[in-house]
C-alpha cells in the first residue's frame, strides 16, 4: 500500500467529521439567530407597549364612556406624534376600537374605517402585546424602503379601572 492511499484513508473520517460539524454549526447558528431576532422583536414590542400605555392613557380616557376620541384627545395625540422624537420613530400609528374601527391614525384617511379584526388585534384586546417584523411588501406600502419595521399591537388601559380602552 502506498503512502498516498494510507493518507487518504486516514483523512476520510476527519473530512467526514468536519463536514458534519460544519453543517451542524450552520444549522445551529441559523436557528439561534432566528430565535434571538424573534425575542428582540417581542422585547421591543413589550417595551413600546408599556411606553404607549403610560403616555397615551390620559389622552384616550374619553373612550371609557364608549364614545369616540375627544377633540382634545386627538389634538394631544397629534402633538405627541408630529414633530417630536417619538413621532420621528413611528412610521404609522393607529388606535383601534374593539369592533375594528380606526379611532385615530397618523394617516387621516384611515380614521373611521372599519376592517376585520386580525388575530393580533384580538389578542391585544385580551391584554397580550403582539409584535412582528413587517415584510418587504408592507414596508413598501408604508413608504419605508430600507428600514426594518416592527408592527406592534399594544393595549391601552383605562387609568383607574385597568380595563383596555383601545389598541
The string of pLDDT tens digits covering residues 60-112 is 766 766 667 777 778 888 888 888 887 777 778 888 888 888 888 888 888 88
**Residue 55 pLDDT > 80:** no
pLDDT band of 26, cuts 50, 70, 90: very high
Specify the pLDDT at position 27.
92
Please indicate whether residue 85 or residue 26 has the higher confidence score (pLDDT). Answer: 26
First and final CA of the chain: distance in angstroms? Answer: 77
**Residue 4 pLDDT > 70:** no
Please indicate whether residue 128 or residue 52 has the higher confidence score (pLDDT). Answer: 128
Please tell me the distance from the alpha carbon of residue 101 to that of residue 114, in angstroms, as a whole number. 4
**How many helices (H) and strands (E) are present in the chain, helices listed first?**
5, 6
Indicate if the alpha-carbon torsion angle 101, 49, 74, 165 is positive or negative: positive
The model's pLDDT over 119-157, given as tens digits with 9 standing for 90+, comes to: 888 888 888 888 888 776 555 555 555 567 788 888 887
Specify the pLDDT at position 25.
92
**Residue 160 pLDDT > 80:** no
Cell numbers given for 44: 421591543
Cell numbers given for 97: 376600537
Please tell me the distance from the alpha carbon of residue 165 to that of residue 98, in angstroms, as a whole number. 8
**Residue 18 pLDDT > 70:** yes
Amino acid at each position: 500500500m502506498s503512502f498516498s492511499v494510507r493518507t487518504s484513508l486516514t483523512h476520510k473520517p476527519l473530512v467526514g467529521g468536519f463536514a458534519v460539524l460544519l453543517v451542524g454549526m450552520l444549522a445551529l447558528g441559523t436557528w439561534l439567530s432566528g430565535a434571538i431576532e424573534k425575542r428582540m422583536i417581542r422585547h421591543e414590542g413589550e417595551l413600546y407597549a408599556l411606553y404607549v400605555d403610560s403616555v397615551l392613557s390620559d389622552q384616550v380616557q374619553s373612550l371609557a364612556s364608549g364614545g369616540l376620541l375627544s377633540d382634545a384627545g386627538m389634538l394631544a395625540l397629534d402633538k405627541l406624534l408630529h414633530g417630536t422624537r417619538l413621532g420621528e420613530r413611528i412610521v404609522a400609528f393607529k388606535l383601534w376600537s374593539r369592533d375594528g374601527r380606526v379611532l385615530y391614525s397618523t394617516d387621516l384617511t384611515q380614521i373611521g374605517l372599519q376592517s376585520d379584526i386580525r388575530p393580533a388585534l384580538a389578542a391585544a384586546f385580551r391584554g397580550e402585546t403582539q409584535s412582528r417584523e413587517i415584510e418587504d411588501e408592507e414596508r413598501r406600502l408604508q413608504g419605508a424602503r430600507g428600514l426594518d419595521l416592527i408592527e406592534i399591537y399594544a393595549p391601552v388601559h383605562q387609568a383607574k379601572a385597568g380595563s383596555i380602552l383601545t389598541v
